[in-house]
Amino acid sequence: MRLKNISLNYGMRIFKALSEEPRVRIIHLLVNNKELCISDLEHILDFTQTKTSRHLAYLKNAGLVGSRRIDQWTFYYILEEAIEIILQVLKFIQKDPNLIKDQEIFHILYSNRELAINKIQNNPYRK
């Protein structure tokens, strides 16, 4: 569902949610990588679990982020109705060094995970 207009109240919630750097960094990672679990965000951003959870709860309460559970993991993603306005805001700050560094760390984390999975699947001693 795309938003054609937003209420002043919803607009204020969005801008308040994006008023702190950690939340903008989380939003940027979610936009670029579709969805991430809290432990991935902790590693990439070098935040504690408490800090990460607090900012995710704020984004969720603001109506920007949704979540889904798979076993013990909770994965977070940008809500479809918020994506357009978030993309417009991020367009102006996409070359920020912190945001670029966060994305580079994600790629390293992801490639290490792929290597580990490949190594496990190709292990000749695996039964």
- CATH number for the domain that contains residue 63: 1.10.10.10
- In a domain, residue 81? The reply is yes
Q: Which residues of the chain have pLDDT under 70?
A: 1-4, 113-127
81-87 own/partner pairs: CB under 8 Å, 24+ apart: 81/1, 81/2, 81/3, 82/3, 82/14, 83/31, 84/2, 84/3, 85/3, 85/6, 85/14, 86/14, 86/27, 86/31, 87/31
Q: Give the predicted TM-score (pTM) of the model.
A: 0.83
pLDDT tens-digit map of 19-54: 999 999 999 999 999 999 999 999 999 999 999 999
Domain count, the chain: 1
Domain ranges, residue 91: 8-121
- Return the pLDDT at 78: 96
